[in-house]
Structure 1
Amino acid sequence: MPGSQPPVGSAMMRRTTRAGWRWFRFITTHSPSRFAITVFAALVLVTTALLSLPIASADRKVTPLTDALFTAMSTICVTGLSSVDMGTHWSHFGQAVIYVGVNIGGMGALTLASMLGMVVSKRMGLRAKLMAAGDSNPLRAHGGSVNESQAVRLGEVGQLLRTVAISTVLIEAVVGLLIYPSVLAKYGWLEALWVSPMYAAMAFTNTGFTLNDGGIAVFQNDYAFMTVIMLAVIVGSVGFPVIFALSRHLFHPKKAHFFRPSTWSLHVKLTLITSGLLLVGGAAAFLVLEYDNPHTFGSMHFGDSLFQALFLSAMTRSGGFAVVDMGELYGSGTVVGSMLMFVGGGSASTAGGIKVTTLAVLALAVWSEAQGRQSVQVFGRRIPSDVQRVAVAVLAWGATIVALSTVVIAQITHAPIAQVMFDVISAFGTVGLTSGLTETLPDSALWVMAVTIFMGRVGTVTLAAAVAATSKSQLYALPVERPIVG
């Protein structure tokens, strides 16, 4: 009617929408790091809502909020820890939600947001490229100069995002096809069409969920299946910048130097070499420490023990699949597994942890200090001091998060400290291996574990950058005084 006022509800909705839009613009404009945290949190809440629906559970009952939230956090953060039986609790709808969630989480929220923006606008602006580059290299979240050779150049961000999307689809498709015959031997052809893509996604994204009844133990004697899964985990853990760099050398005739490591960037060299050393070293350590353990490798033939040690070494780096019972490892094996989980995989990968390049930079800094060098040098290159400071900050923040979470959960549960620390490091490193403790945790401990997962996936550097986003640059230098160290 003429002169009538609009409904109060409509005006309130418009005001709420405008306020939400202003808040969203403030977050995305002033801090890409806070934007990353916001997007991840929103994805977790949406996934929690979907998993709380009665249709998401196999018995068509509402999943308790704590279990739905913890599963959603573990899904979006590609962790693999669970408080329910993943093979029997969820319906096909719930499994589909988890499948989509791990792929979104694996590609990264910032990468996904930049891809959507590119599709909508048909081109990427400078701010979007900076945000995407910040996702591929955490150093871009900090002020100061960053050598372009250390990261993907702004003009190549679009190519990197295409590589992320295409590599995810292609690798998961190839993995699904390769394991389909093995899955078909265990299930009917229709069920195999459902299980194969699930395992492909869980392997490449380093999640480790097993949504079939019986888990991966059903395939433990099928070495073709196990090998493909292990290789998919390794490829996912090296990081998209490495995949992007290697694909340029492999598919461009003018840059056909794929088999000439001297042409690779320092980041690629450090990632591949450190990952290889950790894979082989971890397998050797497990083989030596667990060879006489009747609950793990002691009951296997040498060939089986050798393969399973290599498989376990790859899984503790962030894969999360387990054939042996992690709760039955000797204390020495548990310590080795915890160390590998804490390190994790490559930067901007589907793996978690403090990252292998962080470990490499710290090790090189210690070696250079022992040799009395003024700078850290490797492969004819000098690593600047700001990179070393970031590596130290990542290590310190990671150790602090693990220590605090371990103390709180140990106080809540009074469980053995070795079990608590193992599961906490698995949560922080987004690995998904468990000593058996996580499924028995009370709700309060599950909330603490969920926060640990979130902080481990978002990244210690991103969290630190988000907290310090409003810090001002200092235009003066204070007098130098050297405290006694060591």
Structure 2
Amino acid sequence: MPFAREGDSAPTFMDAFFTATSAVTVTGLATVDTGTYWSMIGQIIILVLVEIGGIGIIALATILGLFVGGRLGLRTQMLAQVDMHVVSLGEVRPLFRRVTVTLVSFQAVTALILTIRYRLVYFDSLPEAVWHGVFDAVMAFNNAGFSLNSDSLTRYAGDVAVIIPISVAVFIGAVGFPVLAELYRGWRRPSRWTIHTRLTVWGSLMLFAIGSLAFLTIEWANPATLGNMPLVEKVVTAIEGGIMPRSGGLQSFDWNHVEAETQGIAVVMMFIGGGSASTAGGIKVTTFLLLAFVILAELRGDPEVQIGRRSVSGRTVRTAVSIALLAVMLVYGGTLLLMLMSGASYIEALFETTSAFGTTGLSTGLTPELNAPSQLVLIVLMFVGRVGTIAAASAFVLRRRQPRYHLPEEQPIIG
């Protein structure tokens, strides 16, 4: 609509379609400058779509039902149970109340910290500082990469009071609501955590540490990233570099100018993504670690996959393998299509398609230069990356059939 764009003319359909998809899938890839192309109304529409996409359609309907009607029907509870990966039906109501409190609390605290910093250092106008603080807080917690600044977070590069709160919000949003709910009940007793919470928490911390240390080591002398920064700013930017590829999408440096090794690590991080039932994308850290345990069990010759003092069912293993293979096919197929349609190089196309599928939003600057067919490829990847893997996982879990007979076994040659 004309009122959504800055100026008198209406936005082009493709820009509006791409932006709407990127917002509702909490990706953050953009074909136009969010701060100058869209009006205040357009920016508010983006913010609302990001909130809806971050919490999820079913979760949003459930929360509205709780606070408006005060109770939930059995059908709604069952849908919410599958959507949020809740084991017990009785946990649906308390979980969604905690989700609401978590959303409001973390975004409000982050917005307050950013607003104070923006007003003191970067903006003379309090309303402008408030709007930037609220917008960046919402984008950070929902792991969306939109920014009102044409250079994203570049003007705040190395600023502890800006980069760290945003990075913390991204990290917490990527953990997942079921994990946050369990940590709220018993964060002091890790021995009693469920396997899902253990994998998500320790896996997220491990990936963060590896990503940050790798970024710091590889980019230490690169003048386009960390080379000219003092030590504290280097550490702050390295923390950002370890968190944002997991689905954050905001950036205080140009990813087109990082070393090739850093781009390769970022592609892996974007593909893995965050926790299940979170605002992050990717195949999810639990899927990735479960596959690692599958390999470990095979190398050891164990008859079943064990994590801690628990075994994992064969159905869960097959679901993880299916999701990972589907993701590989989608990303690689999208990469080839992007190379054919736009003439982009392999690493540029791979980075952009992985960012779209992982709903990350990081870009080397290729997205605004793509033609309409190439943008459609990214639109499909963003939508499938946000909805497809969740739907596939739910379908695999819910589709349970008891076989009435067993066929004779045969061993094909493997490897």
Partner amino acid, structure 1, of 2:233 = D
Partner amino acid, structure 1, of 2:94 = Q
- Checking the alignment, whether the CA contact within 8 Å between 2:275 and 2:284 is kept in structure 1 is yes
CA gap of 1:168–1:465, structure 2 versus 1, over 3 A, is closer
**Could you say which residue in structure 2 is the equivalent of 1:126?**
74
**Could you say which residue in structure 1 is the equivalent of 2:216?**
287
Q: CA deviation at 1:378?
A: 2.0
- Checking the alignment, whether the CA contact within 8 Å between 1:368 and 1:376 is kept in structure 2 is yes
**Could you say which residue in structure 2 is the equivalent of 1:84?**
32
SS at match of 1:459: helix
- Checking the alignment, whether the CA contact within 8 Å between 1:152 and 1:241 is kept in structure 2 is no
**Could you say which residue in structure 2 is the equivalent of 1:113?**
61
- Checking the alignment, whether the CA contact within 8 Å between 1:455 and 1:463 is kept in structure 2 is no
Alignment of 1:302-381 (within 5 A): 302-381=231-310
Q: CA deviation at 1:291?
A: 2.2
SS at match of 2:410: coil
**Could you say which residue in structure 1 is the equivalent of 2:146?**
209
- Checking the alignment, whether the CA contact within 8 Å between 2:274 and 2:282 is kept in structure 1 is yes
**Could you say which residue in structure 1 is the equivalent of 2:193?**
264
- Checking the alignment, whether the CA contact within 8 Å between 2:156 and 2:252 is kept in structure 1 is no
Q: Which of residues 8, 14, 22 in structure 2 aligns to 1:66?
A: 14
Q: CA deviation at 1:120?
A: 5.2
Partner amino acid, structure 2, of 1:399 = V
Q: Which of residues 342, 357, 361 in structure 2 aligns to 1:428?
A: 357
Partner amino acid, structure 2, of 1:300 = M
SS at match of 2:38: coil
**Could you say which residue in structure 2 is the equivalent of 1:222?**
159
SS at match of 1:78: coil
Matched, 1:243 2:145: no
Rounded Cα–Cα distance in structure 2 between residues aligned with 1:365 and 1:467 = 18
Q: Which of residues 151, 165, 172 in structure 1 aligns to 2:107?
A: 172
> Structure 1 regions of 5+ residues with no counterpart?
1-52, 138-150, 250-257
Rounded Cα–Cα distance in structure 2 between residues aligned with 1:478 and 1:461 = 31
CA gap of 1:469–1:247, structure 2 versus 1, over 3 A, is closer
Moved more, 341-350 or 301-310: 301-310
Q: Percent identity?
A: 39
Partner amino acid, structure 2, of 1:271 = T
SS at match of 2:311: strand
Q: CA deviation at 1:181?
A: 1.3
Q: CA deviation at 1:166?
A: 1.8
Q: CA deviation at 1:125?
A: 2.2
**Could you say which residue in structure 1 is the equivalent of 2:409?**
480
CA gap of 1:278–1:483, structure 2 versus 1, over 3 A, is same
Rounded Cα–Cα distance in structure 1 between residues aligned with 2:26 and 2:131 = 19
Moved more, 471-480 or 318-327: 471-480
Rounded Cα–Cα distance in structure 1 between residues aligned with 2:390 and 2:66 = 26
Q: CA deviation at 1:288?
A: 2.1
SS at match of 1:393: helix
- RMSD of the alignment, in Å? 1.8
CA gap of 1:468–1:174, structure 2 versus 1, over 3 A, is closer
Matched, 1:155 2:90: yes
Paired residues, number: 413
- Checking the alignment, whether the CA contact within 8 Å between 1:87 and 1:215 is kept in structure 2 is no
Partner amino acid, structure 1, of 2:91 = E
> Structure 2 regions of 5+ residues with no counterpart?
none
Matched, 1:395 2:324: yes
Rounded Cα–Cα distance in structure 1 between residues aligned with 2:398 and 2:176 = 26
Q: CA deviation at 1:405?
A: 0.8
- Checking the alignment, whether the CA contact within 8 Å between 2:155 and 2:252 is kept in structure 1 is no
Rounded Cα–Cα distance in structure 2 between residues aligned with 1:263 and 1:460 = 29
- Checking the alignment, whether the CA contact within 8 Å between 1:136 and 1:152 is kept in structure 2 is no
- Checking the alignment, whether the CA contact within 8 Å between 1:317 and 1:345 is kept in structure 2 is yes
- Checking the alignment, whether the CA contact within 8 Å between 2:319 and 2:396 is kept in structure 1 is no
CA deviation digits over 1:275-311, x for unaligned, max 9?
A: 0000000111122222232222222234322321221
CA gap of 1:467–1:366, structure 2 versus 1, over 3 A, is closer
Partner amino acid, structure 1, of 2:107 = E
CA gap of 1:206–1:461, structure 2 versus 1, over 3 A, is closer
Q: CA deviation at 1:464?
A: 6.7
Q: Which of residues 186, 191, 195 in structure 1 aligns to 2:132?
A: 195
Rounded Cα–Cα distance in structure 2 between residues aligned with 1:228 and 1:372 = 45
Q: Which of residues 52, 61, 75 in structure 1 aligns to 2:23?
A: 75
Partner amino acid, structure 2, of 1:154 = L
Moved more, 474-483 or 112-121: 112-121
Q: CA deviation at 1:89?
A: 0.7
Partner amino acid, structure 2, of 1:71 = T
- Checking the alignment, whether the CA contact within 8 Å between 1:390 and 1:461 is kept in structure 2 is no
Partner amino acid, structure 2, of 1:79 = T
Rounded Cα–Cα distance in structure 2 between residues aligned with 1:323 and 1:225 = 11
Rounded Cα–Cα distance in structure 1 between residues aligned with 2:386 and 2:205 = 23
Moved more, 464-473 or 158-167: 464-473
Q: Which of residues 439, 443, 450 in structure 1 aligns to 2:372?
A: 443
In the superposition, the TM-score normalised over structure 2's length comes to 0.95
- Checking the alignment, whether the CA contact within 8 Å between 1:76 and 1:104 is kept in structure 2 is yes
Moved more, 455-464 or 222-231: 455-464
Rounded Cα–Cα distance in structure 1 between residues aligned with 2:365 and 2:150 = 18
Q: Which of residues 154, 171, 187 in structure 2 aligns to 1:234?
A: 171
Rounded Cα–Cα distance in structure 2 between residues aligned with 1:380 and 1:472 = 28
The structure that has the greater radius of gyration is 1
- Checking the alignment, whether the CA contact within 8 Å between 2:163 and 2:236 is kept in structure 1 is no
CA deviation digits over 1:219-262, x for unaligned, max 9?
A: 2242111111110000000000011111123xxxxxxxx22211
CA gap of 1:211–1:265, structure 2 versus 1, over 3 A, is same
- Checking the alignment, whether the CA contact within 8 Å between 1:107 and 1:165 is kept in structure 2 is no
Q: CA deviation at 1:123?
A: 1.8
- Checking the alignment, whether the CA contact within 8 Å between 2:339 and 2:345 is kept in structure 1 is yes
Rounded Cα–Cα distance in structure 2 between residues aligned with 1:71 and 1:153 = 37
SS at match of 2:364: coil
In the superposition, the TM-score normalised over structure 1's length comes to 0.82
**Could you say which residue in structure 2 is the equivalent of 1:101?**
49
Rounded Cα–Cα distance in structure 2 between residues aligned with 1:388 and 1:464 = 11
- Checking the alignment, whether the CA contact within 8 Å between 1:80 and 1:432 is kept in structure 2 is yes
Partner amino acid, structure 1, of 2:271 = F
